[in-house]
Amino acid sequence: MNQTEKTNVESDVVHRLRDLNQKATQLLTFLSFALVAAILLETSQVSVLTACQKIAVKWSLRFWVFSLFPILVVVLPIQEIVNRNHARLFKVVLLWIAVLLIISGAVAFLCAVW
């Protein structure tokens, strides 16, 4: 591999890391609105939810709060500490874990409002 190819590969990894950070920021934005909606629904003065729906809202909140931690780790500048390829793989795995938790929370939230 010559120097130009190494530079292109390095630039590609840096671009992908930037994309992963942007996706994490978008997920945080979604989570902020989702958490506000769930908290407003759970803490409403009038009892608009049945007992089963309250449990579903509580589970959606739990899933969404747990998904915050992998997303916050993704936003950290890990590529400055470890190899950029390893950092990219680490961030991809964490984002997938967060997405699975978010989907689980969305399913629980849908069960609560359906």
Has residue 98 got a pLDDT over 80? Answer: yes
Rounded-to-integer distance, Cα 96 and Cα 70, Å: 9
Decide if 64 contacts 101 (C-beta within 8 A).
yes
Has residue 78 got a pLDDT over 70? Answer: yes
Report the mean per-residue pLDDT for the chain.
88
Specify the pLDDT at position 50. Answer: 87
Higher pLDDT, 103 or 87: 103
Has residue 5 got a pLDDT over 80? Answer: no
Rounded-to-integer distance, Cα 109 and Cα 113, Å: 6
Decide if 42 contacts 57 (C-beta within 8 A).
yes
Rounded-to-integer distance, Cα 44 and Cα 91, Å: 37
Q: What is the torsional sign of CA 58, 62, 63, 68?
A: positive
- Among candidate residues 78, 81, 110, the one with its CA nearest the CA of residue 95: 78
> What residues does each domain of the chain span?
3-113
Specify the pLDDT at position 107. Answer: 96
- pLDDT, one tens digit per residue, over 27-68 is 999 999 999 999 988 887 777 888 899 999 999 999 999 999
Rounded-to-integer distance, Cα 35 and Cα 63, Å: 10
Specify the pLDDT at position 1. Answer: 62
Q: Find where tokens 């795995």 sit.
A: 93
| Widest distance between CA atoms in the chain | 69
